[in-house]
Amino acid sequence: MPRGDKSKYTDKQIRKADAITESYEKRGVPEKEAESRAWATVNKDDGGGKHPGGSGRGKATGQPAAHKGGRKGGAASADRTAEQRSASAKKAAATRKRNAAAKAS
């Protein structure tokens, strides 16, 4: 099987890669780079192609990148006091204001 052959990927994995590619292209990433990143994401999530002969066959997906969002942040936020969260929010607001002013000038 030549390098870059996608025959071992399922239809769902191919659709997923296409959707990710389109998303990157919409954000201005060059087509080849977008496709490369998309397949890297599919491989990270699923461990490779699922059809016989593909490296990912039979492996559990564990916790794919798409499902990790918010877990760490939620726990970190819960460990902080109300004063700490408020101070962080004020600092973030000041940073956004400063960046907006710098961008305007």
Residues across the chain: 105
Tokens standing for residue 52: 């016989």
Domain membership flag for residue 68: no
10 Å Cβ neighbour count for 47? 18
Asked if residue 18 belongs to a domain, the reply is yes
Q: Is residue 62 part of a domain?
A: no
* In-domain check, residue 69: no
Q: Residue 98 has which token pair?
A: 């400063």
pLDDT at 1: 58
20 neighbors 37 (Cβ within 8 angstroms): yes
Give the integer Cα–Cα distance in Å for 38 and 24: 8
Q: Identify the domain containing residue 98 by its residue range.
A: 11-56+81-104
Query: Could you tell me if residue 32 is inside a domain?
Result: yes
Q: Answer for the pair 37, 24: CB distance below 8 angstroms, yes or no.
A: yes
Tell me what pLDDT residue 104 has: 85
Digits of tens for pLDDT over the chain (105 positions)?
Answer: 577 788 888 888 899 999 999 999 999 999 999 999 999 988 888 877 777 776 655 555 566 666 666 666 677 777 889 999 899 999 999 999 999 999 887
As for how many domains the chain has, the answer is 1
- Residue 15: predicted pLDDT: 93
Dmax over CA atoms of the chain, in Å, equals 59
CA separation for the pair 22, 16 (Å, rounded): 10
